[in-house]
Amino acid sequence: MTGAPRVAVVGGGPGGLYTAALLKRLDPAREVTVFERNAPDVTFGFGVVLSDETLGGIEHADPVVYAALQREFVRWDAIDIVHRGARHTCGGHGFAALGRHRLLDILHERCRSLGVALRFRTEAPDPARLTGAYDLVVAADGVHSAIRAAHADVFRPRVSDHRCRYIWLAADFAFDAFRFEIAETEHGVMQLHGYPFAADASTVIVEMREEVWRAAGFADLDEQGSVDRCAKIFADALGGRPLRSNNSAWTTFRTVVNEHWSHGGLVLLGDAAHTAHFSIGSGTKLAVEDALALAACLDEQPTLPEALSAYETERKPVVASTQRAARASLEWFEDLDLYVGQRPRQFAFNLLTRSRRVTHGNLRLRDARFTGAVEREFGCPPGTPPMFTPFRLRGLTLRNRVVVSPMDMYSAADGVPGDFHLVHLGARALGGAGLVMTEMVCVSPEGRITPGCAGLWTGRQTEAWRRITDFVHRQAPGTAIGVQLGHSGRKGSTRLMWEGMDEPLPEGNWPLVAASPLPHRPGGQVPRQVTRAQLTDIREQFATSAWRAARAGFDLLELHCAHGYLLSGFLSPLTNHRTDAYGGSLEKRLRFPLEVFDAVRAVWPEERPMTVRLSATDWAEGGTTAEEAVTIARAFAAHGADAVDVSTGQVVAGERPEFGRSYQTPFADRIRNAVGVPVIAVGAISSWDDVNSLILAGRTDLCALARPHLYDPHWTLHAAAEQGYEGPAAVWPPPYRAGSRPPRTGRTDSPKPRLTLER
How many Å is the Cα radius of gyration of the chain?
Answer: 29
φ/ψ of residue 569, rounded to 5? -65, -25
For CA atoms 327, 333, 337, 338, the dihedral sign is positive
CB 21 within 8 A of CB 65: yes
Please report, for residues 159, 227, 591, the alpha-carbon distance to residue 560 in angstroms, rounded to integers and kept in the order given: 36, 52, 15
Identity of the residue numbered 59: E
565 a catalytic residue: yes
Catalytic, out of 166, 565, 582, 725 = 565
CB 224 within 8 A of CB 272: no
> What residues have CB less than 8 Å from 458, skipping those under 6 apart?
415, 416
Cα separation, 597 vs 595, whole angstroms = 5
3-state secondary structure 659-677: CCCCCCHHHHHHHHHHHCC
Cα separation, 490 vs 555, whole angstroms = 29
Cα separation, 353 vs 433, whole angstroms = 25
Residues 406, 412, 413, CA angle at the centre, nearest 5°?
Answer: 160
Sheet holding 6-10, edge to edge: 117-120, 31-36, 6-10, 136-139, 266-268, 262-263
- Four-point Cα dihedral 164, 165, 168, 171, nearest 10: -90
Which one, of 686, 561, 705, lies nearest residue 633 by Cα?
561
Which one, of 603, 613, 608, 611, lies nearest residue 543 by Cα?
603
- Counting beta carbons within 10 angstroms of the beta carbon of residue 474, is it exposed (0 to 12), middle (13 to 18) or buried (19 or more)? exposed
Which one, of 479, 526, 491, lies nearest residue 408 by Cα?
491
CB 554 within 8 A of CB 482: yes
Between helices 304-334 and 283-300, what is the axis angle to 10°?
170
Cα separation, 639 vs 647, whole angstroms = 20
Cα separation, 476 vs 496, whole angstroms = 30
For 207, the enclosing helix (H) or strand (E) is strand 201-209
Residues 457, 460, 463, CA angle at the centre, nearest 5°?
Answer: 105
Q: How many other C-beta atoms are found inside a 10 Å radius of the C-beta of residue 658?
A: 12
Cα separation, 109 vs 113, whole angstroms = 6
Cα separation, 160 vs 36, whole angstroms = 26
Q: Enumerate the active-site residues.
A: 565
